[in-house]
Each structure stands twice: as structure tokens, then as C-alpha cells.
Amino acid sequence: MTTATASPAAGRLSTPTIFAFASAGIPGAMLMLILGTYMPRFYASHLAIPLTAVAAAVATVRLIDIGFDLVIGYGMDRTHTRFGRYKVWFTLGLPILMFATWKILNPPEGAGVGYLITWLLIIYTGTSISSLSHAAWAAALATGYNERSRIYGWMQGVAVVGSVTLLLTPILTKGAIQPGKGESMAAIGLIIICLLPFTTAANVLTVPEKLGPPQKGASLKDYMAVFTTPGMARLVLADLFLVLGPGTTSPIYIFFFHDAKGFPIKEVSLLLIPYIGAGLLGAPAWARIAQTLGKHRTLQVACVCYAITQTILMAMPKGAFAMTAVGMFSVGFCASAFTLLIRAMVADISDQIRLDTGQNQAGLLYALITITQKFGSSITVAIVFPILAAVGYNAKEGAVNTEAAIRGLEMCYLFAPIALVLVGGALFFGYKLDSERHADIRRQLDEREAALTADLEAEPLSGLSSAPGAAPSGR
């Protein structure tokens, strides 16, 4: 028996190509950081909307948006143009994101829950189109098991540049722009809006997309294969827990470090720099480790390390900036493995489904992963904010909270992330799609595509007689 090896199609992409492709993550990461960490506090403290109302608005929009992701993913997989499949969708997301970013970060005086829900729906539709098409495009761009770890590592690492740059704006602008302050939100929106056209152009104009044949009509069985593939079902469930873990800390991050740990708002924003910046080292490091241990084993190691570092972070004394910064770096280093490896594993399962059904369902597969992220974030906001309200925590700027309220805030930040991440890691026991299995899948796919190409090239000759001077058949 011969040993399966990586196909020739799995060759390494040039670094400039990967960097141009990954540049889309710079404004994308800025926007996600603002929406996930700063926007809830902005609407709660500066627009005086109750925490429970903000939580209900975010949860409602996320749940509605789940249906959009499935429709968008299915539509992407059945799009075929001379410009490509995913490039077209990626470009479509640009004007939606630009307009919605301005509206949600520059609300009019007196804006309420209705305004928040409306523009959250629009901006999350834009992010769905852009993120789904970009992730599926990456799966088509890199086909090798290890090459996918590399490209998704670059994507996550470059996205860190966007997040860290945003967090450094208080220093870069000498305090004129501070993400934690409501009066800075419009300026931050303008920064994101100005970056989006440049990074979109870098992708569309310089990064190739392989133009495959049009998709044949998918049967119900083909469609359901996406949901019933054992590896994908396990991956989606694990991803939900890995989103719920760190996601529990995101909406209460500012509250925790400002009110429980005693850091001023400026330092609270600065503490995010080592956490997010750790991805610059963490993403390539975990990608390299995955080449030795395999993606799912590496993910399990990262989960255990996350639980350890999160526990150490909680034990650090109040107001100790340097120690806390080191702790945040450690937690961020471990957490950087989650999205990177999950996305790379989805690309591998996409190959498995294409071999089994003949259908390219990458867009739909990434829609499922996006759904877990949105559903997970809606759960965290909908659960954590009511708990804070129940223990009497007051989110208004300058409010003085009781000791019991602060203790409830600390418990929310400590226990849930650790437990949820460990459950996510445990779900990968028994996972089957390793590097050897994927190499065999790619070999079979490449052989099938080579045979199809040969048939298509021979087809125009089938209507011609081999006799000299003979007339073409069918006339």
C-alpha cells in the first residue's frame, strides 16, 4: 500500500500574496473589537440605554442573523462568474460595511433600542458577507493540510495589527482618540471606513481565485451532508464552546478591569494590547505546532493552557499593570489558537464533503462556524448582563458599586471561560480527520479533477471524423 502524500496543488503560496489576502483582517478586526467590547458599553453608558435592553438588542440581532448566514453561504457556493465565486461576494460587502459602520458608531442624539437593532442587523449582514467569502476564498487558495494552517495563521496575525493599532490610538493621537470614550466612536468609525476600500482592493486586484466549473444542482442529500458529517458536527459544537469561553469576558471586560481591578479607562484599553498582540506570536506558533501534533491535538493543548493562564490572571493583585499585562499576553497567546485552527479544520472537512458528494460547500460550512460565533456571543451577552443586573451592578459611568456587585462581576469573568473552553477541547477526543487522512482525500480530489479536465479537453474533438476531408458530424 502506498502512503498518501500531499498533492502538488498544496504548494506554498508566496508571502506577498498571503499578506495582501490577510490585509482584509486589519479593518475587520478593528470593527469586531469595537462591536464586541466597546459598543455595548457605549450605548449603555453614553446613550443611557439599560444594560438588559442592550443585551436583548444584541441577542435578537445575532439570532436573526443566523438565518442570513445560511442563505449567504449557500448562495456563495452556487455563484459562478468570470471574476470568481468569492471575490464577487467579498466586494459586495464593502459598501454595506462602510455605511453601517458610520451609522452605528455615530448615532443621533436620543437614539434608542430600535436604532441599535436596525443598524446592528445591517452591519452584521455586511460582516457575514465579507467574513464568509474571505474564509471560503482562503480554503480554495490553500489546499494543503499544513498550508492551511499557515494561511489562517497569517490571517489571524495580520488582523492583530488592526486591533493593536486601534488600542494604540490614545498614544498615537496623544489622547485625542480613546476607544473607551463615547466622543471618540465617530472618529474610530472614520478610520475603519477609510481602510476598508484599500484592503478590499488589495484582495480583489492581487490575489487569485481558482475558477472552477459551475456547481451542479445539489440534492437534498448533498445539502444535508453538510449538517450530518460527523467531523463537522463535532467541530461546530466544539467551536460554540470555544466562542462562549473567551466571549463571556468580552462584553464585561471594561467593567471588570475598571471596577474590579481598579485600572483607569486608559489603562484598561492598553491592557488589551498584549492580549490581542499575543496573536502575532501565537498564530504562527500554534500553526507550526499543528504541523507536528495535528490541528485537533494542538487545539486541545491550547485549551488546557488557556485554563491555566486565565486562573493565574485572576489571582494577580489589583492595579498591578505590568504583571497583569504579562498575564493578558499569556491568555491571548493561548486563545489565538482557537479561531485559527477551527477555520483550517473546516477547510479540510470541505474537501471531505466535496469528495463524498461532488459539491463545493465551503461557503455553507463557514456559515455554520459563523453561526456558532454569533449564537455564542448572543448567549454571553444575554446571560451575563442580566446576571450583573441581578447582583445590583450599575454600568453607568461614575457609579459606585457594592462589594457584592463587584464579586458577581468577578465570578462571571473567572469561572465560565475556563469551564467552557475545557469542554470545547474535550470534544476533539476521537476526531479522525488528521494529516494522513486529508492527504488521501486531496490525492483523490486531484485525480478526479485531472480526469475531468482531460475529458473536457477531449470533448471538442469527439464530433470530428478522423478521415481526411470528412465533414463534421451533426450537419
Host domain of residue 424: 23-210+219-449
Residue 218 has pLDDT above 80, yes or no: no
| 3 state SS for the chain | CCCCCCCHHHCCCCHHHHHHHHCCHHHHHHHHHHHHHHHHHHHHHHCCCCHHHHHHHHHHHHHHHHHHHHHHHHHHHCCCCCCCCHHHHHHHHHHHHHHHHHHHHCCCCCCCHHHHHHHHHHHHHHHHHHHHHHHHHHHHHCCCHHHHHHHHHHHHHHHHHHHHHHHCHHHHCCCCCCCCCHHHHHHHHHHHHHHHHHHHHHHHHHCCCCCCCCCCCCCHHHHHHHHHCHHHHHHHHHHHHHHHHHHHHCCCHHHHHHHHCCCCHHHHHHHHHHHHHHHHHHHHHHHHHHHHHCHHHHHHHHHHHHHHHHHHHHCCCCCCHHHHHHHHHHHHHHHHHHHHHHHHHHHHHHHHHHHHHCCCCHHHHHHHHHHHHHHHHHHHHHHHHHHHHHCCCCCCCCCCCCHHHHHHHHHHHHHHHHHHHHHHHHCCCCCCCCHHHHHHHHHHHHHHHHHHHHHHHHHHHCCCCCCCCCCCCCC
Position 437 scores a pLDDT of: 83
Determine the average pLDDT of the residues in 224-241: 80
Domain for residue 389, yes or no?
A: yes
If we measure between CA atoms, which residue out of 338, 337, 370, 379 comes closest to residue 127? Answer: 370
What CATH number is attached to the domain comprising 158?
1.20.1250.20
**90/71 Cα distance (integer angstroms):** 15
| Residue 299 pLDDT grade (very low, low, confident, very high; cuts 50, 70, 90) | very high
Domain for residue 427, yes or no?
A: yes
| Residue 9 pLDDT grade (very low, low, confident, very high; cuts 50, 70, 90) | very low
Determine the average pLDDT of the residues in 110-119: 88
Domain for residue 461, yes or no?
A: no
Kindly list the distances between the CA atom of residue 215 and the CA atoms of 140, 170, 219, 323, 442, in Å, as whole numbers in the listed order: 15, 49, 12, 54, 19
Position 464 scores a pLDDT of: 39
Q: What percent of the chain has pLDDT over 70?
A: 87
Domain for residue 132, yes or no?
A: yes
Position 93 scores a pLDDT of: 92
> What is the domain count for the chain?
1
Position 11 scores a pLDDT of: 55
- The mean pLDDT value of the chain amounts to 80
| Residue 188 pLDDT grade (very low, low, confident, very high; cuts 50, 70, 90) | very high
Position 27 scores a pLDDT of: 94
| Residue 470 pLDDT grade (very low, low, confident, very high; cuts 50, 70, 90) | very low
Domain for residue 104, yes or no?
A: yes
Low-confidence winner among 230-234, 354-358, 378-382 (lowest mean pLDDT): 378-382
Over residues 420-447, the pLDDT tens digits come to 999 999 999 988 887 888 888 888 887 7
pTM score = 0.68
Residue 353 has pLDDT above 50, yes or no: yes
Position 10 scores a pLDDT of: 44
Position 3 scores a pLDDT of: 37
Domain for residue 460, yes or no?
A: no
Residue 287 has pLDDT above 80, yes or no: yes
Determine the average pLDDT of the residues in 208-215: 63
Domain for residue 50, yes or no?
A: yes
Most confident of 38-42, 93-97, 380-384: 93-97
Domain for residue 464, yes or no?
A: no
